Amino acid sequence: MAARSSAEIEAPADSKSWTLRLRRAIDRHLPMDHLLPDRQPYYVGSWVYVFGVVTIAALVWVVISGVALSFMGPQWWHDSALGRFVNSLHFWSVQLFFIFMVLHLWGQYFMAGWRDGRAATWMIGVVIFATSILTAFTGYLSQQNFDAQYIAINAKDAMNSAGVGAFFNVLNFGQMYGLHVMLLPIGVTFLVVVHIVMVRTRGVVKPIDPEGGAPS
């Protein structure tokens, strides 16, 4: 007989322990074979499903290069060869992040990825897209060069006309830099984790008319 943990032996099903109830809820809704599957349905055998994974890989490089840039500072990323390389790595991994995020969006749009209880997953994806645009915008304002000044001075009128200039001041470098290196990346990363967990909870959406099967 396999050894059982003391919690399994002692805790009744209606236990008042919130940690036990939380653990049981996680076991019920997200078992490990859903979280880290080693097999996928046959219809996942397409490069379209790889676009989302490439987006995540690009985000990892964005974060790694961003941590190096924030640690070393603007003089390093403007004046040293390694700094310019890491700065370029940050810029180009952002380009790949957006390109593959849009390809992933197209793929999910045409396969109607919001079907069968996946609407929240789709909507969180939309919020990730919007938050990423704001993160990229504050990044352009954080470069510490004439480009950043030009963008900030032109963008302030758009922000003021939209009525958000009072609390989102693009001329305030400290505010833009703080948003770019702290709040917005944490927001994007957190939402991406939630998005992935939601995808793994329900699995990949079935094709609209699977070959040899009834439409779902």
* Residues within the interface to another protein (CB under 8 A): 39-48, 50-51, 99, 102-103, 106-107, 210-213
- Report which DSSP code applies to 49: G
Residue 116 CB, shortest distance to another protein, in Å, is 17
CA-nearest of 88, 94, 85, 92 to 59 is: 94
C-beta of 125 vs 185, nearer to another protein: 125
Which structure tokens are listed for 1? 């007989």
C-beta of 17 vs 154, nearer to another protein: 154
Largest CA-CA distance found in the chain, in angstroms, rounded: 72
Residue found by looking up tokens 């079907």 in the block = 115
Residue 48 CB, shortest distance to another protein, in Å, is 5
Contact indicator for 189, 195 with CB cutoff of 8 Å: no
C-beta of 48 vs 72, nearer to another protein: 48
CA-nearest of 189, 183, 153 to 171 is: 153
C-beta of 105 vs 170, nearer to another protein: 105
Residue 152 CB, shortest distance to another protein, in Å, is 21
CA-nearest of 52, 100, 22 to 200 is: 52
Residue 113 CB, shortest distance to another protein, in Å, is 15
